[in-house]
Structure 1
Amino acid sequence: MPNTDNWQGDVLRDLRGAAAPTGRGGTGPAPGSGTPASGPGLSPPPPPDAARAVAPPEHPGGQGREQPAASPSTPAGRPPRAAPDSRPVTDDGLAGAVRTPRHGEPFASRAVRGLRRIVSSSAAREVAEITRTAERLQQPVTTGRQIAVTSIRGGAGKSTVAALLGTTYAHYRQDPVLLVEADPALGSLPLRLGAQSLRWTTGDMAGIVEPQMSLLDVTGYLVQLPGKAWLLPGSQGRIGAMLDTRAYERVMVSLRRYFGVTVVDCETLPAEVARVALSASQARVLTAPATLEGITSTHNVLEWIQALPRHVIEGTVVVLTEQTPRPGIDLDKAARKLASTGASVQVLPFDRHLAAGGAIRTELLAHATRQAVTRLAADVFELSQKRR
């Protein structure tokens, strides 16, 4: 993509010309209705002409059932792609078993912190820190930044961290943000983001995206999220979904020009797609549980990354996720050991809301969690800016 200063302006002009949705991943005004944009997402436009090989669904989030017509531009031998059926993210029977979400920290802790802010000068310092962090997160970009999130094992908080990063960028930035699930083996990113239904997947998108498509065309295949954010899921919750490196590379190269920041929830290492994502991204996040086993295996991975070009380890941030209120290791010593490889290290503190699973509601996150996430997002974004 050309490295020009007009990149964000072109994207924002696309956004201002979009129709407004009525809810997350749900139905909105009919495409082409002319309703001005008034919300965080977009409704897809109708096909501009018969040169489109694939038509998007009627509404974001997989609500429409339109069958695309054959296109004269479709290469010989390639049949037109039929729109897959929309599938719910969570079975209705399982959704009924979910309890009311808990706040990330107890009420007593929140009350004490509020009292301290009233009687001390910490509130002014906190506002100043938030302002500085926001300025870091809002730096302009001339080409889309891609940030890969992976881990060495399941249960390390990989999808949780990816969801938190994407949500943070969507909150602070004015350009569109994309979250890509490159973990088709029943990944949990759509559930963590609160998506209701899924249709098109990362593998599907590899056969759909074309250079002439506009942002409005592309978002017709994505799931809308709050803010200027969209989700491209890895599967529809079926075991056996696959994503090869060629499909991943085609999707990421093609979509980069539409989004200011793309956060990729990768497969666990050493899967091939995860290795490709790590090498192709401008910044990398490696999540690890704050346990002896998690620290040991992550250190081994960092030693492997040290053998790659130097910018790879320098653009890597390790996130130690506390999965219990009191971890059984000394986090300071563990962080120093991991940082000796050249990577940065941060801690995501234990949070009751995150530990319960399900959709993340940012207003229920503990204060310490929100601080840690915004600091992490700013640091990772600045690392991505260093590699053009």
Structure 2
Amino acid sequence: MPPAAGWRRVVWQATGHRFTPPLTRSEQRRQDVTMRARAPVSTPTVIASAAGKGGVGKTTVALGASVAAALVRPDRLAVIDANPDAGSLAGRVALQPPPATLSDLLANEASITRAAEVWRYLIQHPSRLDVLAAPLDPAVTRQLGEAEYGRALELLTRFYSIIYADLGTALLAPATSYFLRRRADQVILVSAPSLDAGRIAGFTLDHLVVARGAEWCRRHVIVVVNAVRSDTLVDVRRLEEFFRPHVRATHRVAWDRHLAAGGALQWDLLEHRTRDCYLELAALIADGFTERRPVQGAER
């Protein structure tokens, strides 16, 4: 395959397409990670981003992982804002208010029979990721429970192979409990690199163990330590070692100036290392597709 860009393509063109320089070690690694992130999924899969504490970057991680996957996968991906407390997902995708929300989708679900009709209710990110925003009124959002999110997933799984869900921090809230106990095929458990955040992430994992079982967590949970800096005071390695025996994988995402500023995520403004972190997270998630099995009580 000819090089797509960079110095290797320049050499390939300069030699009249007769010589293709070999991949560097970092390029080969990125290619390998990309191939893992493209792993096929046999049936629609739900990935939940969870945290028992606000401010740790749960929404950012959900969006970063889903954008990274959407950029390299051929199938359709969507992310749904399932936070009952004024979720901020739509604001991380576009600065203007969303054209429609989950409530609008549910009000018109009977008339939706084609993918193009679904897209009218979702925000289209440049990565090809589609985003379903939460209602703008928290009073409306808090009334959404298992039945409403079940209907939304039933509709979305007709047109999307992977659906990410950005959950709220209240683990016993109806929407969050529904995803964690019944619908999530994998859970991304997000923690900040701090003792308090790590402790709450541990409590959240305990909640998942009670809800789904220790073996399920060892096969289907990824702990992400988010916004790690070189001057982070906590020993992140020890934090990872605490979680590693109880989950499928742990992963770090580097601190990034663009993400720290908030607002709409623009992939090209991220540092290269941050993009690599999210691509590797997308690959870790895709590694779990071979482990996937139907969730008890879930409607497929």
TM-score normalised by length of structure 2: 0.82
1:129 aligns with 2:18: no
Counterpart for residue 87 of structure 1: none
Which of the residues 260, 264, 280 maps onto 2:161?
Answer: 260
Is contact 2:81–2:133 with CA below 8 Å preserved after alignment?
yes
What is the identity, as a one-letter code, of the residue corresponding to 2:209?
Answer: Q
Counterpart for residue 332 of structure 1: 237
Query: Radius of gyration: which is bigger?
Result: 1
Counterpart for residue 275 of structure 2: 370
Is contact 1:150–1:269 with CA below 8 Å preserved after alignment?
no
For 1:256-295, what aligned pairs fall within 5 Å after superposition?
256-270=157-171, 271-279=173-181, 280-295=183-198
Is contact 1:164–1:373 with CA below 8 Å preserved after alignment?
yes
Please identify runs of 4+ aligned residues in structure 1 that moved more than 3 A. Answer: none
Which of the residues 133, 139, 147 maps onto 1:240?
Answer: 139
Question: Secondary structure of the residue that 1:227 maps to in structure 2?
Answer: coil
Question: What residue ranges of structure 1 are gaps of 5+ in the alignment?
Answer: 1-120
Matches of 1:193 and 1:352, distance apart in 2: 17
Counterpart for residue 100 of structure 1: none
Relative distance call for 1:386 and 1:334 in structure 2 (3 A) is: same
Counterpart for residue 199 of structure 2: 296
What is the identity, as a one-letter code, of the residue corresponding to 2:199?
Answer: T
Matches of 2:164 and 2:282, distance apart in 1: 11
Is contact 2:223–2:247 with CA below 8 Å preserved after alignment?
no
Is contact 1:222–1:231 with CA below 8 Å preserved after alignment?
yes
How far did residue 185 of structure 1 move?
2.1
Matches of 1:122 and 1:346, distance apart in 2: 29
Matches of 2:265 and 2:221, distance apart in 1: 25
Matches of 2:47 and 2:289, distance apart in 1: 7
- Whose RCO is larger (CA < 8 A, sep 6+)? 2
Matches of 2:138 and 2:184, distance apart in 1: 27
What is the identity, as a one-letter code, of the residue corresponding to 1:190?
Answer: A
For 1:21-170, what aligned pairs fall within 5 Å after superposition?
124-170=24-70
Counterpart for residue 26 of structure 1: none
For 1:335-346, what aligned pairs fall within 5 Å after superposition?
335-346=240-251
1:183 aligns with 2:70: no
Question: Secondary structure of the residue that 2:284 maps to in structure 1?
Answer: helix
Is contact 1:286–1:317 with CA below 8 Å preserved after alignment?
yes
Question: Secondary structure of the residue that 2:94 maps to in structure 1?
Answer: coil
- Over the aligned positions, Cα root-mean-square deviation in angstroms equals 2.2
1:305 aligns with 2:208: yes
What is the identity, as a one-letter code, of the residue corresponding to 1:342?
Answer: V
How far did residue 341 of structure 1 move?
2.1
Matches of 2:218 and 2:151, distance apart in 1: 25
Question: What residue ranges of structure 2 are gaps of 5+ in the alignment?
Answer: 1-20, 294-300
Aligned residues: 267
1:250 aligns with 2:151: yes
How far did residue 186 of structure 1 move?
2.1
1:224 aligns with 2:132: no
For 1:338-357, what aligned pairs fall within 5 Å after superposition?
338-357=243-262
How far did residue 251 of structure 1 move?
0.7
